[in-house]
Amino acid sequence: MGRFENVTALALPVAGAVVADLGCGPGRLTRALLGAEGGAPAVVHAVDVAATLDDDLLLDARVRAHIADLDRPLPLPDASLDAAASINVLEHLRDPAAHLDDVGRLLRPGGRFVLAHSDWDTALFSSVDDRLTRTLIDQWVAHSPGAGARVDGFAGRKLLRYADASGLDVESVHSWADPHRRFDVGSVAWKVATGVLAAASADTALSARAAGWVDELRHLADAGRFLFTVTDVAVVLRKDPTS
């Protein structure tokens, strides 16, 4: 199982539920929720600030697409969701605590919110030069231009801090690291390496070494010796059933 299936398994209460994928992007979690064996939801509210959702999901009658800002109260009624989930979204928000309050408003009593985030500092790349890999990852998590000013390389390990300050109860905590063996253009590992390159670009000497590092990753992938992983953390929050 990958991260979207893991979050689906944690989020879905019962078949026929009304759920939300918050910060849905192209809709990989939405797709996993809809495909949940034996427990598929009746409705998935797919919310993002941009028009990112894949076309086939826009055409699915079970999907309600919303272009909305998670830094504001969402245009959904109180207690209208059985469950909600988000993956790699919290670091982009101006006020994560206010967002968690709003999710609490949207959940019905007993409803669940799966808050999931990668902890980018734990990124693991197959490496020929371990010291250079460490330097590049450190530079990336400290400084990631183009990824947004609020991107946080340590977001995964901070989830419990946000959860603890929310009005929701922490039901369980999970973590995993999906293995990625591909390094072709568009793959997950390639996207992360692109971010690493961008972060190194302010330092001319490091930037040249980073370009060589990416070439090396390509060679490792061609030889079948490439691996990328990052630790994901997921906190399952529950609204008080008696509220």
The C-alpha atoms of residue 124 and residue 119 are separated, in whole angstroms, by 11
Q: Minimum distance from CB of 131 to ligand SAM (Å)? A: 29
Q: Which C-beta is closer to ligand SAM: that of 126 or that of 166?
A: 166
In this structure, are strands 124-125 and 228-229 parallel, antiparallel, or unpaired?
A: antiparallel
Report the residue from 10, 23, 153, 235 that binds ligand SAM according to the rule CB under 6 A. Answer: 23
Q: Minimum distance from CB of 71 to ligand SAM (Å)? A: 5
| Residue 92: DSSP 8-state | G
Strand partners, 19: 44, 83
Site string for ligand SAM, 44-83 (x = CB under 6 A): ----xxx-x----------------xxx------------
> Is the separation of the CB atoms in 153 and 231 below 8 Å?
no
Report the residue from 87, 100, 193, 200 that binds ligand SAM according to the rule CB under 6 A. Answer: 87
Q: Which C-beta is closer to ligand SAM: that of 56 or that of 169?
A: 56
Going from the C-alpha of 181 to that of each of 124, 177, 211, 227, the distances in angstroms are 12, 13, 20, 5
Q: Minimum distance from CB of 195 to ligand SAM (Å)? A: 11
